[in-house]
Structure 1
Amino acid sequence: MRTGKSVRKVWYKHMWVYIAGGILLFLATYLIIQGIRCSAAVEAGRERLSTYGAKTATLSYGNMSYVDKGEGEAILSVHGIFGGFDQAYDTCKDFSSDYRIIAPSRFGYLGSDVLGDGTPAEQATAYVELLDELGIDKVYLLATSAGGSVAIRFALDYPERTNGLILYCSAMPYKEKPKSFPEYAGPPTFLCNDFAMFLISPLFEPIMGMESSTIYSMLPVSDRKKGIILDASVTNLDMAKNFDNYSIESLQVPTLVFHAKDDKLANYEDTINAINRFPNCTFIPFETGGHLMTGHSEEIKKAVSEFLLNN
């Protein structure tokens, strides 16, 4: 015959089994629902990409996907991590009524192949080949985030093809040669897929300072994965690893730099430390706005328009 104590033990044991089972059932249900939502969002993302009218140039090393819209002097848009021709075009679309916007997918993103090791120098060379293909002699470079390394490299290597350099919360050169740097500067590879990024999107605000809805402009992540990993392992490290090859003081083109003080992805202090290295530079800081400089679209549009008109 069981004692009251042994009965309670059995009851507690069963209770914890039920609780654990309930938690597992909840998690399983949650993951299934999120999986369904993610699949729908990825499909919507693919449909969204189809509206850009992207073209493909077959270059010496492979394909490069790009959007080419508008007329007039050309702006070459150099997108950041998790980007592609969509992010590149959306960054510049406010200027499409007055300028020709060339918005390529960088190496590994949305239909673009990789030349060699995929370094910023090789990406700049590929851009020149694309511009030759399109019959464009000179461009304004407008770069965001990780794209800054590539745009700066382009302006240094091809000043004769560059009218001006515009950097939005961009990667910036170091003030002095760093003693050490990481081997990888980006999201872990296990997060570089549609479902993982969709699951963590509610954390975008506390981690990255941007709304969780930003995920919908990043999908499908699976079609950008190679580029994301390339940025994290090559592009984002190049200005540190090859510091001596970035002679910013020798830049021959005017530069316009925007940066928000509360940017959680590109350190504002790095910009402050580097800005004096640019010989002909206008710097416009914002107190708030984060990495996407939210709330400053009119100020940015006005400043960029003046820069484009005067240079």
Structure 2
Amino acid sequence: MKNLKLLFVIIIISISFYTIIMSIKLTIDLKDAKEQLKSYQPSQMILSYGNIEYLDRGDGEVLLVCHVIFGGFDQGYESLKDLTKDFRILSPSRFGYLNSHVLGKGTPEEQCKAYIELLDKLNIDKVFIVGTSAGGTVAIRFALDYPNRCKGLILYSSAMPETEKPKKINLYQAPPNFLCNNLPMYLISPFFKTIMGMERNVVKTMLPIDKRKKGVKIDGEITNPDMAVNYDNYIIEEIEIPTLIFQSKDDKITKYEKFITSVKRFKNSTLKIFETGGHLLVGHEKEINDTVKNFINAHK
């Protein structure tokens, strides 16, 4: 009994010590993250429903980026910044992320309407629409709803459509609400590798989480389940624009077995499959960028 009490005390002390140390590290990283966001000097534009925040960098063919969950204009831009030497990267924060307001309920359809309004304001006629991870749902919706505004669809480790109408649907597809805060997410970051196949430093790109939490909630409740909930409205076979799709076999988030079946619904697609790299396609940056350049130059 004494040994159990001692073990319990040791565990409590260890957890407390761990929390204190991580809280100190979080304070430093949070300050750095906020300074980094300011350094981008993002643009703000008032649309019919409110503000949209975005980065607009480079010249040439326009790549409109739909960023990942826990993202924002910063993550969208960072995923493609090496391409600014050749192309124009337009990276908005999606609904609820950072300083972007929400149109209606924040559905992918409404997000696409907001994109069109932004493009019209910027006098941009057509784009290559890019979807990364959860942002893939919005990119696919954009390709379906506005094919006349698309030159091509590019998907990085993207959410994929269902192959048949599901009988059961997970109506919340995001981390539990209590984790969608700075300290809880930071505390579990050492386990990212085991859970998601990502290095713990990825958590730094998610900060400040409290400024992204509303967007995460929209993604969890609306964006991520949308292709299942509204299965009949995602007729992927109708997408005629050329599509470029990147995926790794060891991705722990987008399961390869489901991916390889779903991707067959894209009729005009080019696939680039990697054996390794995980969800973030780590280690293949140059090959990916070269492939994107070739794809755009072939279809611009």
- If the TM-score is normalised by the length of the shorter chain, which range does it land in? over 0.9
Residues 264 and 22 of structure 1: CA distance in aligned 2, closer, same or farther (over 3 Å): closer
What is the percentage of aligned positions where both structures have the same residue? 52
User: Aligned-residue CA RMSD in angstroms?
Assistant: 1.4
Local SS of the residue matching 2:49: coil
How far does the alpha carbon of each residue in 1:41-82 deviate from its partner, in whole angstroms, 9 at most, with x for none?
A: 111110111121211111111111100111112110110101
Q: Is residue 2:170 matched to residue 1:167? A: no
Change (3 A) 1:27 1:277: closer
In 2: Cα distance, 1:304 partner to 1:17 partner: 59
Mapped partners of 1:16, 1:162: distance in 2: 64
1:274 alignment partner, SS class? helix
What is the SS of the residue equivalent to 1:259? strand
Task: Tell me, in whole angstroms, the C-alpha distance in 1 between the residues paired with 2:76 and 2:5.
Answer: 52
Q: Deviations over 1:171-215 (max 9, x none)?
A: 011111111111111100110000011000000001000101111
Separation in structure 1 between the aligned mates of residue 203 and residue 111 of structure 2, nearest angstrom:
26
Residue 110 of structure 2: aligned partner:
122
What are the ranges of 5 or more consecutive residues in structure 1 without an aligned counterpart?
1-11
Q: Distance in 2 between matches of 1:302 and 1:181?
A: 37
Shift of 1:239: 0.3
Shift of 1:26: 3.5
Aligned position for 1:3 = none
Secondary structure, in 3 states, of the residue corresponding to 1:66? Answer: strand
Q: In the TM superposition, what whole-angstrom CA distance separates every residue of 1:129-181 from its partner, at most 9, and x where no partner exists?
A: 11111111110011100000000000110011101000001001111111111
- Alpha carbons of structure 1 residues 18 and 245: separation in structure 2 relative to 1, 3 Å: closer
3-state DSSP of counterpart to 1:113 = coil
Instruction: Point out 4+ residue stretches in structure 1 off by more than 6 angstroms.
Output: none
The answer to whether structure 1 residue 28 and structure 2 residue 13 are counterparts is: no
**Counterparts of 1:161 and 1:223, CA distance in 2:** 31
Larger Rg: 1
Between the two proteins, the alignment pairs up a number of residues equal to: 299
Distance 2:97 2:128 in 1: 22
- Structure 1 residue aligned with 2:215, among 202, 223, 227? 227
Instruction: Give the aligned partner of residue 268 of structure 1.
Output: 256
1:53 aligns with 2:21: no
Q: For residue 255 of structure 1, what is the amino acid of its counterpart?
A: T
Residues 1-311 of structure 1: pairs in structure 2 closer than 5 A: 13=2, 20-311=8-299
Amino acid of the structure 2 residue aligned with 1:272: I
* TM-score normalised per structure 1: 0.93
Relative to the length of structure 2, the TM-score reads: 0.96
